Amino acid sequence: MKAKYFTAGNFEAAAGLATDYFGCNQEEITFEQISDSADTEEIQLIAIYGTHREVVNMDASFGIYYESDGVYLEIYKERGAGYKLEINELTKYLERKKIISLNNEAVNNLVNSTFGRVKIAAAQEQHIIGEDLCVIIPDDELKASVVLQAPEPGGRPLSFDDARKIVAGAGVSHGIDEAALRQVIESKIYDTERIIAGATLPINGEDGKLVFHFSTDERTGSPKEIFGSGGRVNYRTLDLYVRVDKGELLLTREYATEGQPGITVRGKYITQKPGKEIMFPRGKNVDINVEKTEMYAQCSGMVEYVNNSVNVSNVYEVKGDCDLRIGDIDFDGSVHIRGNVCSGSTIRATGAVIVDGCVEAATIIAGGNVEVKGGMQGADKGMIEAGGAVSALYVERGKVQADGPVKMDMCIHSIIEAGDTFVVEGRRGAIIGGRVSSCGDITANYVGALSNARTEVAVGVTPRKRARLQLISSEINKLVMEQIKLNQLDAYLTNTKGVIDAQKWELLYRSSIENRRLNNDNLEALNAEKEILEQELANATQSMVHVYNTVFSGARVLIGQNSYIVKDEISYVSFKHSDDEVVFVPCELTKYG
């Protein structure tokens, strides 16, 4: 389909010019009169050569004509469902035509009026457009593409050397695929974007990591499978520690790597992300090499990895009950009580505590896991604190605080805080009265009782961890203030060197170095712990409460800051957080699955 404006003294003359121009019959042309000036006694027609269907939905277009009195631009408006004029296409075409003394104002006025004919330059010889190459580079400079632009009839073809110069002139200097560029030039596929250069992407560094040479999975408190029982497990026996020999390699550290920078297609460097260094764990009864890359056991015994600390210790064993005959126990290691822990007794251990019998109104504080193979009759005085997992047959009127998972068969009128999951799913699997809270999921057969005993279960973050986060923030502020004082001391030492007594100056100098080292180590450890706690707070609403059997009336379920009070018995449900409220759905866990 073609279009053009024609001007003559009357319609017949203008139509004749159109038929001569298009070389067809008048019936094949659609005419539309544009103007009828009384001053000039001339009319202007737009003649459109094409089928009726093409004319009805004609796209907007333009034409440039070199005539004896000047260069003219014609714009033909779209019709029906046709597309509007692409202004950028017109602008690029005018640039490629290299028209001398182009009247940009006349061009803009015609574009704004959307159709018509206007003189845009004085008479001149027409520049025949040859093949050209348009280089496209996005802002990130990760690639460079080219579009081969078609020539006009008789236009000069583009050589490969010319193409390389155009690409270089656009600033592309890296990652050029010359074979792809040559293919673009030789294929003669016009107006199609093709990638001819790519950046070298940066290689990010790898984070440092610790490689443990002893099993850390066994300290999770998972129950052992009963041999030959067909998959049944014994909830009273857990894998709580691993034995090691003196001089045994415990762990190695691999340092973080820097990575490699990348390069854009314009030759600019792309900064890579260096790997994050990992903090080397603290330890007790261990030997560390000078480079802090290897850790060895200093003695034979048991090894635990708790709170970013690797501890090797012997086990203190009591062959019988822990009562007045034994007294309180405070041991740097693990404690194994072969009998019961009687009322009034206190056991403190930096490692694990294992009790083969029962615990009465006693106190057990462990840095690692605690296993009570019997149960706990706390009489509202008994307490267990653990830096790892806690396992017990039952807890009645007692208090349990654990940084790891807690498992038992029954919990009666007790206060439980689990730093991980809390599972009550043995033969009875009931939580009756009291308050239980867990950073992870809570799983039980029953919650509450027919007597409507006030029972509260909460998941998210335990109150103790919230308090710990506040304490850590306070301690970090104190250490920062101490750093300011150390900086003041350094300034004082710099100004007084050679002025005050040399021995006194040396003592102050050594003290400053040691205090700064201790300050930095403590600050690093506290910031690491703070980061972990803040992450737990951010995910506080992800935990759920799963009940395989019944939740009785009077029970209260809390997730994060929201709660749900059970008014009628509910069976086989999971409570979860959704849209700032606690809701329940059919249980999403398979029992013992």
CA distance 560 to 577: 8
**Sign of the alpha-carbon torsion through 559, 562, 567, 571:** negative
- Look at residues 96, 180, 197, 177 and name the one whose alpha carbon lies nearest to residue 137: 197
Rounded alpha-carbon distances, angstroms, from residue 520 to 124, 159, 515: 80, 65, 9
**What are the structure tokens assigned to 295, written together?**
């850790």
Four-point Cα dihedral 265, 266, 267, 269, nearest 10: -80
Q: Quote the CA–CA distance of 553 and 450 in Å, as a whole number.
A: 8
Mean pLDDT, 10 residues at a time, the chain of 593 residues: 84 88 87 66 84 86 91 90 88 88 91 89 90 92 93 89 93 94 92 94 93 74 54 46 81 93 94 91 89 88 81 82 84 87 91 93 94 94 94 96 92 93 89 92 92 89 74 89 86 84 86 88 88 73 90 90 88 90 89 58
> Given this model, what pLDDT does residue 378 score?
94
pLDDT value, residue 304: 81
Q: What pLDDT is stored for residue 409 in this prediction?
A: 93
Q: What is the DSSP string of 189-211?
A: --S-EEEEEE-B--EEPPPPEEE
Q: Could you tell me the CA-to-CA distances from 329 to 315, 335, 366, 399 in Å, in that order?
A: 12, 9, 11, 20
Contacts 24+ apart (CB under 8 A), 446-452: 446/547, 446/549, 446/550, 446/551, 446/552, 447/545, 447/547, 447/550, 447/551, 447/552, 447/555, 447/557, 448/551, 448/552, 448/553, 448/554, 448/555, 448/566, 449/552, 450/552, 452/552, 452/553, 452/554
Query: What is the identity of the amino acid at 144?
Result: A
Domain residues of the chain, as ranges? Answer: 2-121, 132-198, 209-306, 330-464+541-586, 465-538
Entry pTM? 0.46
Tell me, what amino acid is at 538? A
- In order of 18, 59, 79, 511, the CA distances from 53 in angstroms are 20, 12, 11, 94
The pLDDT assigned to 502 comes to 84
Q: What is the pLDDT of residue 235?
A: 44
Query: Tokens at residue 457, please?
Result: 């279960």
Dihedrals phi, psi of 273, to nearest 5 degrees: -95, 110
- Specify whether the CB–CB gap between 247 and 178 falls below 8 A: no
Angle between helices 502-538 and 463-496 (to 10 degrees): 150
What is the CA angle 172-173-175, rounded to 5? 95
